[in-house]
Amino acid sequence: MESTNRTVVITGAGSGIGRATAHAFADRGANVVAVGRTLETLRETAAGRARIVPLVADIAAEGGPAAVVAGTMERFGRLDVLVNNAGIVRPSPLGQIEATEFDRFMAVNLRAPLLLTQAALPHLEASSGTVVNVSAAVGQRGWPYMSLYGSTKTGLDFLTRTWAVELAPRGIRVAAVAPGPVDTPILENNDFDPDSVAAMHKLREQLPLARAGTAEEIAFWIVTLADPLAAFTTGIVIPLDGGYSAA
């Protein structure tokens, strides 16, 4: 699978799945715009790979999506693949959810990818491009304490299928991956309480494959969905969850 000279925008590229995906695309010859809010972590993502260019932006802020697209076009003059990976996750027990917390989840996990995809449309159309959304296995089944995270990711699944139909006449494909538990810094970098962390580790043990996935395993499928050889694939949400959705 080659991505030579294509330009790929990846949000949430400072760590985890985003970083692994940036590496995977760059190693296949793509130019990668690594988007995130922290320059230091983006520089770590780009280290040793000249094809990765850090772009600091808050995609949930006013003007953030437009700034990402403008920066990409100024640097590379084209946009072939958009990977909507950035997201926030933390437990939200019903009875303890504040309106401001709801608004933040919606802004980052749902509104930002919608507005970024919308801003990128003219350039994706020009290149017959691809959008890959990073959803979550939590949307496939019930998951206690994940009302906000799960509902936003389920919404992203719907957008994936809807955009696939709506944008097909414009030559744009849209697909998604839905990872289950993955070994990333997410547990350490969020305010998960000890009980929630224990529950996450227990879930990993209960998966049919009895382990968490790796960021590189998820990145493989993101790159595959964006590959020109996947040109007959659109509107799908691929569960990458160690069998969680099938058990």
DSSP state of 146: B
69 exposed, middle or buried (CB, 10 Å; 0-12, 13-18, 19+)?
Answer: buried
Handedness of CA 214, 215, 220, 221 (dihedral sign): positive
Are the C-beta atoms of 42 and 55 separated by less than 8 Å?
A: yes
Q: Where are the beta strands (DSSP E) in 128-246?
A: 130-134, 173-179, 182-183, 213-214, 237-240
Residue for token pair 């990872």: 179
145 classed as catalytic: no
Residues in the chain: 247
C-alpha–C-alpha distance, residues 153 and 139, integer Å: 6
C-alpha–C-alpha distance, residues 108 and 105, integer Å: 5
C-alpha–C-alpha distance, residues 157 and 177, integer Å: 9
Cα separation values, 135 from 31, 73, 83, 88, 115, Å: 24, 26, 11, 11, 16
CA dihedral 151, 167, 84, 35 (to 10 degrees): -150
25, 149, 163, 221: the active-site residue: 149
Active site residues: 149
